[in-house]
A and B are shown apart, each in its own frame.
Chain A
Amino acid sequence: MALDKIGIAKRIAQEVQDGTYINLGIGIPTLVANFIPDNINVVLQSENGLLGIGPFPDESEVDADLINAGKQTVTTTKGSSLFSSAESFEMIRGGHVDLTILGAMEVSENGDISNWKIPGKMVKGMGGAMDLVASAENIIVAMQHCSRDGESKLLSENTLPITGLRCVKKVVTDMAVLDVLPEGGFKLLERAPGVSVEEIKAATAGKLIIEGEIPEMRI
């Protein structure tokens, strides 16, 4: 059975390495924070200007002056720091943030990502997405394998306006874990419990590379 959003978040949490600084996008990526094991110490960055995002506050702790990039009220962790949005993006562009996890509408087989605009619909803006994808050392995309209409979101070439070129390193979907190879192509690494390689093949429009037995994810 394909994974739900929680399942995708749990699988991505396994990619998180000890001692790293991470930026989590809105949606499934935000959920990842809940599943990082206790023995893995990471610092979460919020691009409005906070390193060390803590859990949501108690009712009595709610502070209008302390929000994350999704404009939700948060707390700070011990050892956190606060800074301007300019400095925040200096640390992003400067390559100091180790991992960015974000959602996408489409990913191409050479790592292009589209996630900010659907032509004909109201354009809300790219926020910090273009800065993040242009600069992060490592980018993992969390998304559904197919759109609601059943169209593959893993393509040979994106159809929607681009957010960044050749930047996605790994994609975790409800069906599979795939690496985006530097020379192009989605390399199938794992399949969701009960999902067959054939089903993944059918749901992937871009170049899919399958070598040997593909194990099931362990969630």
Chain B
Amino acid sequence: MINKVVSNAEEAVKDIPDNAVLMLGGFGLCGIPENCISALLKTGVKGLTCISNNAGVDDFGIGLMLKTRQVKKMISSYVGENAEFERQLLSGELEVDLIPQGTLAERIRAGGAGIPAFYTPAGYGTEVAEGKETREYHGKMYLLEQWLKADFALVKAWKGDTSGNLIFKGTARNFNPMMAMAGKITIAEVEELVEPGELDPNMIHTPGIYVQRIFQGKDYEKRIEQRTTKLK
């Protein structure tokens, strides 16, 4: 049994250097690595490139790392919910690469799966296609997109075991499984860390081979962006 447990978030992220390329799981604020983000705020690492579907909100998620100017570049599909983000973008402090969501997901998956590039129809005929190779297959046009990899992938799961096997809950799965595959070092934070054998192998979403470090997270806030309930 390979034991991948580290004691906490600070321990897990302490060797992330300036200018590292990170992937951070989550869709909106759902399924984001809250503990790792808090720990990065403490280490003060700078010049980060963050690959993440969104950029958090002003006072939560990646938004906190924008406020402390730790992020040099965001690679995302939608970044609308953050005033500080907008300010830094307009002032030229922050670089942003916007990518169609499915292309982003697949580029990350490809990075983990050893597929250097693939053809997708998404973005053909748009500014996303500028400078990219295009090709026709069966009468339809596609463009060539390349894999994405990261120095460190920070993912959040519901349950995990000390060997790094992960189970996600609800739509908090989102980008986490592909990012776990595409990180040179993948750090998983989990709400419940258990011993090997306690998770049903049939139910594992991310096999432990993709995870290098795992720790029991704490104090999850799980903030909700749009709290919608049934009309009474």
Using A71-B225, A164-B126 as known contacts, say yes or no to A47 and B121 having CB atoms under 8 A apart: no
Question: Which residues A164-183 have CB closer than 8 A to chain B?
Answer: 164-165
Contact present for A65 and B177 (CB under 8 Å):
no
Q: Tell me if A1 counts as interface (CB < 8 A to partner B).
A: no
Closest A residue to B205 by CB, please name it.
A84
**Size class of the contact patch on chain A:** 35 or more
Which residues of A from 62 to 89 have beta carbons under 8 Å from B?
Answer: 62-68, 70-74, 82-86, 88-89
Does B47 sit at the interface, judged by CB under 8 A? no
Q: Which of B109, B172, B178 is in CB contact (< 8 Å) with A65?
A: B172
Residues of B within 8 A of A (CB-CB), count: 54
The answer to whether B102 has its CB under 8 Å from any CB of chain A is yes
With a cutoff of 8 Å between Cβ atoms, the chain A residues found around residue B123 in the complex are 130, 134
Nearest A-chain residue to B28, judged by Cβ: A71
Contact with A along B85-116 (1 / 0, CB 8 A): 01001100000001011110110110000000
Tell me, rounded to whole Å, the shortest Cβ–Cβ distance linking A120 to chain B.
11
Q: Is the CB of A126 within 8 A of B175?
A: no
- Nearest-neighbour CB distance to chain A for B222, whole angstroms, equals 4
Q: Which residues of B, 193-232, contact A by the 8 Å Cβ criterion?
A: 205, 222-231
Interface pair A73/B172, CB less than 8 Å apart: no
SS class, residues of chain A in contact with chain B: loop
B105–A85 touching, CB < 8 Å: yes
CB pair A134–B121 under 8 Å, yes or no, is yes
A127 at interface by CB-CB < 8 Å:
yes
Inter-subunit contact B31/A65 (CB<8 Å):
yes
The distance from the CB of A58 to the nearest CB of chain B, in whole angstroms, is: 6
Residues of A within 8 A of B122 (CB): 93, 130-131, 134-135
Residue contact B76 to A125, C-beta cutoff 8 Å = yes
Q: How far is the CA of A164 from the CA of B140 in the complex (A)?
A: 13
Known A58-B229, A125-B77; judge A85-B53 contact (CB<8 A). Answer: yes
Q: How far is the CA of A135 from the CA of B119 in the complex (A)?
A: 13
| Chain B, residue nearest A166 (CB) | B125
Distance in angstroms between the alpha carbons of A85 and B30 in the assembled complex = 13
Which residues of the partner chain B approach A131 to less than 8 Å between Cβ atoms? 100-103, 120, 122
Assuming A49-B174, A57-B230, A65-B31, is B126 touching A161 (CB within 8 A)? yes
Query: CB within 8 Å of A: which of B43-96?
Result: 53, 76-80, 86, 89-90
Residues of B within 8 A of A (CB): 27-31, 53, 76-80, 86, 89-90, 98, 100-103, 105-106, 108-109, 120-128, 158, 169-178, 205, 222-231
